[in-house]
Amino acid sequence: MTAYYLTTPIFYVNAQPHLGHAYSTVVADAVCRYQRLLGKDVRFQTGTDEHGDKIVHAAEDAEVSVKEYVDKISAMFKAAWPPLAIVPDTFVRTTDPAHMAVVQGILQQVYDQGDIYFSEYTGLYCKGCEQFLTEKELVDGKCPDHLTEPAKISEQNYFFRMSKYQEWLIDHISKHPEFITPERYRNEVLSFLKEPLEDLCISRPTTRLTWGIPLPFDSRFVTYVWFDALINYLSGLDYPAGEDFARYWPVAEHVIAKDILKPHAIYWPTMLKAMGLEPYQRLHVHGYWNMNETKMSKSLGNVVRPGELVAEFGADSVRYFLLREMSFGLDAGFSKEALMARHNSDLTNDLGNLFSRSLTMVKNFAASVVPQPGMPSAQDQELAEAALAMLGQYREHLDHFAFHRALAAVWEVISRANKYIVSTQPWELVKDPQQAAQLSTVLYTLLETLRLITLTLHPIMPETAAKMAEALGVAGETSLTDCGVWGRLVPGRAITPGAQLFPRLQQEVKDKPQPQKNKTMKEPASEKTPSPEATPEAEGLISFDAFQNLELRVAEIVAAEKIAKSDRLLKLTVKAPEERTIVAGIAQHYQPEELVGRQVIIVANLKPAKLMGVASHGMVLAAKEGDRLVLSAVSGPVANGSRVA
């Protein structure tokens, strides 16, 4: 059996679990479940990072001993995962004696071979980061993360000869395009490596800090946090002698957030090289969840606790949202409204309805057994082919951590299947005994499509997928390779309708008046009301003439790109039928590449306006629901430039 090893970062116990931690861990859990569906022998590791001065200070603030403090917070992390259906195989704590022994063994080895040396260091030290910063990293003389001025301190310390491995690292990254993904982070690291790499300070004098792993060769010092923390990825595998190490290290992959890119992309591979080990295979770097366009942080008081979300929405909804809403590698916005909207529309409406309609029809029209399909029509075949194609796309995207794309491919089939019900009209077929074979084929096609959809959902929404599999009579049939074929459902087998997948959640009444919802909203940033001709008259009604003044047309997006320095705006090139540029405030909802080829509805006779230096000729219509924007579309292909009236 092929092995697969994936880790989350070990989380620093100076704060309780928040949404960012939950995201890294949901991602890792989903990927591990996916790899298991592919038949791999998977090892999934997480844990807590428990040394360093920040933790000593946090314990002092909490007026408990440091040991009590780390035990308490570490336990909170451990307890945070089961409610999210996250099931790690190992949970490493850096205060575990076994981990500490591994760190000391490595330090001694690297010291003995001459890659650790003693020297004087003077530098700018940020207490928040627990590291020395270079002048270049400062913004206006301050640490960009903590917005405080670092202190100039000078002390004797031990250093790891990281610079010695710089050329090797550049070469390794260049030869292995997937070593750091997505590519933007690989580029960031390569660009950082253009400057000479400094050696890494790996110790703290015990006069300043005692809460750490003592250096085996000098008891006046403890290990500086990265040379301790990163080693968890090995100590969790019983390095150096353990069988697990031999089995899983050659296939190691890490998931991290972008704030710890440098330690993982530079310190860690050079440390491994110095130890004489192969580096990890892939480093997967994700962005931040923002609230109202600011980073989530304790000091800003806008921290979202995963436990609260699970209590309100259920584990599967939260997992689905996190994986669907963020495009892995980029930042994304979080709001409960957006989560609610996805829950109600994607889960309750699209998936929930497809499932319950299909099973209810099998119950009513086929006595709750899988019917024997007849000859498929072109329409039946089309859905079957789309469902099989979905599996391929899903795998391709999940292999590259493109969760939002994998899920978009699944939801595309869900939407097709819902339309298929409407167009095949099984409730009409059942009235005519002549159409019995056709009805059976339609129901069979729906059940098989649902079975394949279920297969893709096991890693994403384990509880929901288990419910669906149970109802379809395929519980436990989860192998993507064996079960990812058409026609596995055995006619005559019983199905069990009745399970409701998702409750519809009520939107709390906010200060926004209700009628605002689902109304077509204007785009982009311009907050002005429509042109004078369209000004609402008495009782909010406009005349037909006023409407006629608004020139709505179908346009095809032929190119889309981000606008530099704006995280909201995209520059679209559309054919309507003449080519024109439109700036749309949809960058947080659509990736440029998913827009090309779409037909949307535009306001064609809007006065041109300049946005971030780009002239916009018109406006793309989109529906707004909470914080979510969904582009307008026509229900079938029409000529570009067709008038909408």
Q: Which residues participate in catalysis according to the annotation?
A: 18, 21, 126, 129, 143, 146, 295, 298
Closest separation in Å from C-beta 54 to Zn ion: 11
Best CA proximity match to 211, nearest among 198, 221, 196, 200? 221
Closest separation in Å from C-beta 143 to Zn ion: 3
128 binds Zn ion (CB under 5 A): yes
Closest separation in Å from C-beta 262 to Zn ion: 13
CA distances (Å), origin 390, targets 6, 299, 408, 474, 620: 25, 43, 10, 19, 29
Asked if 132 contacts 125 with a C-beta cutoff of 8 angstroms, the reply is yes
Residue 142 or 247: which CB sits closer to Zn ion?
142
CB neighbourhood size of 486 (10 A): 16
Residue 143 or 361: which CB sits closer to Zn ion?
143
468 binds Zn ion (CB under 5 A): no
613 binds Zn ion (CB under 5 A): no
CB neighbourhood size of 220 (10 A): 11
Closest separation in Å from C-beta 130 to Zn ion: 8
* HEC string for 393-445: HHHHHHHCCCHHHHHHHHHHHHHHHHHHHHHHCHHHHCCCHHHHHHHHHHHHH
Residue from 53, 145, 188, 337 that binds Zn ion (CB under 5 A)?
Answer: 145
Options 54-62, 128-136, 494-502, 583-591: segment touching Zn ion (CB under 5 A): 128-136
Kindly determine how many residues on this chain lie close enough to bind Zn ion according to the rule CB under 5 A. Answer: 6
146 binds Zn ion (CB under 5 A): yes
Scan residues 372-401 and list those touching Zn ion (CB under 5 A): none
Residue 54 or 319: which CB sits closer to Zn ion?
54
Site string for Zn ion, 107-126 (x = CB under 5 A): -------------------x
Residue 146 or 172: which CB sits closer to Zn ion?
146
Give me the count of residues in the chain: 645
Options 141-149, 236-244, 248-256, 288-296: segment touching Zn ion (CB under 5 A): 141-149
Closest separation in Å from C-beta 200 to Zn ion: 17
Residue 143 or 409: which CB sits closer to Zn ion?
143
Closest separation in Å from C-beta 150 to Zn ion: 7
Best CA proximity match to 273, nearest among 123, 161, 437? 161
Site string for Zn ion, 424-443 (x = CB under 5 A): --------------------
Closest separation in Å from C-beta 146 to Zn ion: 4
- CA angle 354/360/364 to nearest 5° reads 145
CA distance 234 to 632: 50
Residue from 22, 86, 143, 230 that binds Zn ion (CB under 5 A)?
Answer: 143
Q: Which residues contact 33 (CB under 8 A, 6 or more apart)?
A: 458, 459, 462
Instruction: Take residue 113 and report the two structure tokens written for it.
Output: 């071979």
Asked if 569 contacts 563 with a C-beta cutoff of 8 angstroms, the reply is yes
Residue 148 or 520: which CB sits closer to Zn ion?
148
CA distance 210 to 380: 69
Best CA proximity match to 19, nearest among 198, 249, 239, 257? 257
Residue from 129, 170, 612, 644 that binds Zn ion (CB under 5 A)?
Answer: 129
Closest separation in Å from C-beta 204 to Zn ion: 16
Question: Within its chain, how far is the Cα of 273 from the centroid?
Answer: 30
> Which one-letter amino acid corresponds to residue 463?
E
Beta bridge partners of 522: none
CA distances (Å), origin 27, targets 24, 215, 256, 404: 5, 35, 10, 11
CA distance 348 to 470: 19
260 binds Zn ion (CB under 5 A): no
Residue 128 or 608: which CB sits closer to Zn ion?
128
Residue 146 or 517: which CB sits closer to Zn ion?
146
**Which parts of this chain interact with Zn ion (CB under 5 A)?**
126, 128-129, 143, 145-146
